[in-house]
Amino acid sequence: MALKATIYKASLRIADMDRNVYGDHGLTLALHPSETVIRLLVRVLAFALVVPGDNLRGALEFAQGLAESDEPDLWQRDLTGQIVHWVEVGEPDVRVLARACGRAERVSLFAHSPSWHVWWGAIEPKLARLSNLAVWRLPPEHVADLEAMTDRSVQWQVNIQDGVISVHDGRRSVEVTPQRLKPASVA
């Protein structure tokens, strides 16, 4: 018998003062049997950081990610099916990133493991030619603090200002400070 995904529901009220993006988002997330809650939370933080201010070029959606090797963790597709934004979580190899950069206008990667520096040291020189790729590091200790306020159903206020993500659940608060490892050189 195959293991089934665990369903999480998140109600996010996002106020991103850095990008002037505001909105309420109801998310239904499937925690893949081989996925950790930390990785799920990184997907939620990635959503908050890149969600567009409008859906004129399509909505940002959770894709199959772990379950389908040809799909990212999140993506934004326009009405023609073209991929506007491809969002990966974790530490993929350069082939995965190059393929994503060839398929999408923009690619964002959010690394989060404690040993990210080993992966980054090996892959950084190979990423220079991928001009539409932005790479971020989410400190694992910050994301781990967020896990303590995570249930299968959450209501969070997510504020982003001066590069810091503040997540509030009404009782507790956690701050996550992403570190940009590689900016995209094209918009």
What is the per-residue pLDDT across 136-171, written as a single tens digit (0 to 9) for each?
999 999 999 999 999 999 999 999 999 999 999 999
What is the per-residue pLDDT across 27-43, written as a single tens digit (0 to 9) for each?
999 998 889 999 999 99
pLDDT-derived band of residue 64, with 50, 70 and 90 as boundaries?
confident
Listed in sequence order, the residues at least 6 apart from 116 whose beta carbon sits closer than 8 Å to its beta carbon are 91, 137, 140
- Burial track 140-172 (b if 16+ CB lie within 10 A, e otherwise): bebbebbeebbeeebebebbbeeeebbbbeeee
SS3 146: helix
What is the per-residue pLDDT across 80-116, written as a single tens digit (0 to 9) for each?
999 999 999 999 999 999 999 999 999 999 999 999 9
In the chain the domains, ranked by start, together with CATH numbers, are: 8-182 (3.10.640.10)
φ and ψ of 107, to 5 deg? -135, 130
